[in-house]
Structure 1
């Protein structure tokens, strides 16, 4: 078959398939155009999830007649001041997106530049242009897209339900809004509650609007800079997590995207503080010199390519870890909320009816050992009904609590908490040990409950990690070197990093052009599958020009050692031992969670406790 040039309208529709995958793709392009135009407020309106209508309005600089006529032509843009594609500072190319959308939909653009006495309207119907013609409109631009993919009906079959497409539109807009807190955004869809994110003076307020107040209350700031790269944003405490990664928002130079390199770096940063199967919530903003990142590797600009991926990965991991270490002692509000819910009537989920005022009510604490039953104070009632509540038979009064224990021995042990000066410490002074595992401490403004095993496990683990950080990893020499055959490129990359790997106890030597000899392995790992380890490291070096595989394995072994070497559950501690553990926790990075991501302590403020008893 002879080679022939395709007609222009077909070329445009093919290009549209690359740029506009679904309604959310079109919204993303149009909103980015509005931001590049200097908009201070952007409104997005859709119908049928964007299939029948997409309207994006902004108050930006607008376009004059000549620019409006050119904006729907392919390879026309106002966002590239010269012909240097390595220095792209804008979010997109207006001509490319509008030309693609106009090829597969009915497009109307009304725009007014401040230098024009009136606005201009341009119509594009499946690639056919009409106008520009005079129109009435305020300063800025309004773009309406109707009947998306009417010119390519096969694409409609691959779209999801209206609700799903509307959710995708909202998510795409939210990701952009997070990166631009100074711009107000509104997203409206028929039969759905409009989303409104007003312009904010600070980032955390915008994050609270888009991600919830709970995130803002449980987030820590991230700051990092290296060799011209700058990372900022907020990440959640490890004990405040989600079941999926949909609440992870990352931007590069203001461009919202999902990137495998950055996702992997985030996982690595949380590797030893997050519970398995859980994902952190975060919003990270990476600023990279334009010449250090290629934003044109993906038609929809959903991915980027860094010139030095190892530098970027290292910056992200280090900055997040430092932020978590600096705030790792801070408890989450979610843990305290769950604790309060467990104490409240019906907190265990039994669904029992509330007792009448003025009557005492037995209750079983959630998770309490069999045989224990507390006796709740009466709920407040009329003054005339007030009377002394007799202590039921089988109960003993301790002066601080009324409890009954049908087991042979009680598990509540009051201890001498020492001087009240300890109340000024973050974790306060130890007052009791419950069930030979939980330390109850009094603070200046509340109480803290500590899991002694989980807390000591983190302390021991951080000590082992500190030894690894000093590169003082003992190695064991193999009697017979392990020969691992690899492609020549992998051998070269491993040989170039042999010095760094040696500091972690792994000895490597080239063994001809297509193999590597493993002469030593870290003693901490014991018997190791060197062949599998070397291939994993080689794969990481090929993809990211960096590898944390060996370090991660060493940390895993250290975590296992810490678990077996820490204070066990069921061990009775003296008062001074409890307080010593509390003081060590206060000086240990990431002490708010154990190696498995579970919280090491929960905190209740005095105000919360008073609310439980109706004092507030």
Structure 2
């Protein structure tokens, strides 16, 4: 008796459907991708009970004709590709022709569809891959899919579904990904009669990010726009201080298709290396546009994974794009003071109104009540005139400046001290000149004012040297002209070459709590953590000087067993391994002979270190140094840097600020803490009510 049999259509359909449809979110994914491929720009998704009992997807795309509708639910029926060469240039989200066949095999499906050129639409009903109804009806242009009772005919699959809330969250996350991948489409997501997601569909990536993740997330992002060897990468990446506690906010879209890529994730995290605090991960929304013939999207039934023809090139593109954005757009954190009004205008400027009612309060002193005037009874002084103020003992009427200020000649010794501009500034800080004025102290006599006569003014004007008389080109002497003749002459235009203003340099003002350096740069105040700044400065110096590490040779080589992919990656990069201070020779695959390691590693186990080094080469890291190197550099920099509460002179603090300020790679300490924050002059003036 023959043991090999052909499976029935029902069983084969269920098995095939299990590869594509595993939960309600899978149905939503397939229907949304078809709606996007149909050219829709408005899509609505509605679910009930997590999508287990009801799913509706409505779009305004081109629709399906009545003749094609039954065929669309057959397996391997598609309009996306026709010949094998089309697989090399796939730009649509769906192309396998398995979505609708898999959906109708495990659920009850109603379809309402109409093409713009047709007068009537079509109502089509199919349950368990069996057609029930196909009739004309009235409906708007586009397509509406209503899917009910998923896995009604496969109870074993139904019991593996999670709670309705969890399944609804899977669906919401899927809609989120497609919303971000197509900002030009307006999406609406309704869960149990409540709208949760609504996007504008204006084509702006920022609008989509704002609608999905909210204002705080959108404001914490940096714009990315970079081209590398034919790959164009756009989108947003997060500021290091706003990193997330997990990797769930890492979104990569390859040709507008959401994918999970280890190469992209590794490149992203390498770009943030030494910028994040422990336990934090970068977030991003990155769009990668590459030629379709350089990727293979037909490697997974749900098309969630892709394969790149050159993963190293992809790694470099993502790394350089994100790193360039961080270096270019990330700025020191700006501190904003609360725009809070501590006093009302009446409290600041108005005089309290007098209350005519008599209010008495009593204070108990020696058990005897005594009346005390309340605040309303306190007499408020009326504004007095200047003459009335003169009669008071504290008023000194200032005399005109011309008559009261006495000049003082500077001695030759003082001129020598104040000859240079910097010396003059420092000398003025140490020994400020005392100005003598005619304001009379209570105990001192009033100095006699000096009267300036008209003759003295004319004499001073006559001593001003006049400019030399220039000669005209004709040789005639230049003649001075009066005001009347001057108005008849045409004005002479003088072209002055404008020079670019010099960038302001930081000037240290002081230090707070022996930890934070206060400096002024133009119209900004900066607060710098001196330990974090010095630590990062030393860390960068050590890394730049460690290009060629000294090697400690072993008496006998240590044999290290690797996996085959680790062996291939390591032996293909022996020159880079040598630059890092390792002496390695390939042995019988997959074994390598380690003859020497960098001295800085000490007595650490070479087997673990070599394996980690090979892993970095597999991930195509541009900086293949092992994490242990960074940990050692961190430790050295932290111990060598100045500490909080250390006493430092003004010269030392100024030198530190000069060395750190403006350096693009010194914004965070090696542990991810910010080096400095800024506060603008305008924010300070708002607090003092100088500006409103």
What is the TM-score normalised by the length of structure 2?
Answer: 0.72
8 Å CA contact retained: 2:200, 2:207: no
Aligned partner of 2:592 in structure 1 is 516
Match of residue 669 from structure 2: 594
Once residues 97 and 69 of structure 2 are traced to their aligned partners in structure 1, the CA distance between those partners, rounded to angstroms, is: 10
Asked if the contact 2:508–2:654 (Cα under 8 Å) also holds between the matched residues in 1, the reply is yes
The reply to whether residue 439 of structure 1 matches residue 440 of structure 2 is: no
Question: What is the CA distance between 1:383 and its match in structure 2?
Answer: 4.3
User: Matched residue of 1:596: which SS?
Assistant: coil
Q: Which residue of 1 aligns with 2:23?
A: 22
Shift of 1:186: 1.0
| Distance across 1 between alignment mates of 2:63 and 2:6 | 36
CA distance in 1, matches of 2:235, 2:351: 54
Structure-2 residue corresponding to 1:484:
560
Asked if the contact 1:462–1:588 (Cα under 8 Å) also holds between the matched residues in 2, the reply is no
User: Any stretches of 5+ residues in structure 1 without a counterpart?
Assistant: 346-354, 359-377, 388-414
| Conserved 8 A contact 1:446-1:605 | yes
CA gap of 1:448–1:102, structure 2 versus 1, over 3 A, is: same
Structure 1 residues 57-456: aligned runs within 5 Å = 57-84=58-85, 85-93=87-95, 95-190=97-192, 192-328=194-330, 330-332=331-333, 336=335, 340=337, 383-384=351-352, 428-456=506-534
Would you say the 8 A contact 2:315–2:620 is kept in 1?
Answer: no
Verify the 8 A CA contact 1:211 1:247 in the aligned structure 2.
no
Deviation track 1:568-612 (CA, whole Å, cap 9, x = no partner) reads 222233334333333333332343321111122223334544555
8 Å Cα contact 2:223/2:329 also seen in 1? no
Which residue is 1:564 aligned to?
639
Alpha-carbon distance between aligned partners in 1 of 2:118 and 2:132, rounded to the nearest angstrom = 20
User: Is the Cα contact below 8 Å between 2:197 and 2:212 reproduced in 1?
Assistant: no
Question: SS at the partner of 2:140?
Answer: coil
Asked if structure 1 preserves the Cα contact closer than 8 Å seen for 2:612 and 2:626, the reply is no
Distance 1:587 1:611, change over 3 A: closer
SS at match of 1:458: helix
Aligned residue for 2:56, secondary structure, equals strand
Q: 1:237 to 1:547 in 2, by over 3 A?
A: closer
Which residue does the alignment assign to 2:608? 532
1:36 aligns to what? 37
How many positions carry a matched residue from both structures? 548
Q: Could you list the runs of 5+ residues in structure 2 that have no partner in the other structure?
A: 353-374, 379-424, 430-500
3-state SS in 1 of match to 2:168: helix
1:461 corresponds to: 539
CA RMSD of aligned residues (A): 3.2
Query: Does structure 2 conserve the Cα–Cα contact (< 8 Å) formed by 1:272 and 1:596?
Result: yes
Q: What TM-score results when the alignment is normalised by the length of structure 1?
A: 0.81
1:38 CA drift (Å): 1.2
Larger radius of gyration: 2
Q: Secondary structure at the match of 1:278?
A: coil
Structure 1 residues 168 and 528, CA, compared in 2 at 3 Å: closer, same or farther?
same
Using the TM superposition, give the Cα deviation of residue 416 of structure 1 relative to its aligned residue in structure 2, in angstroms. Answer: 8.4
| Deviations 1:464-494 (CA, angstroms, capped at 9, x unpaired) | 33345xx434433334322213356643432
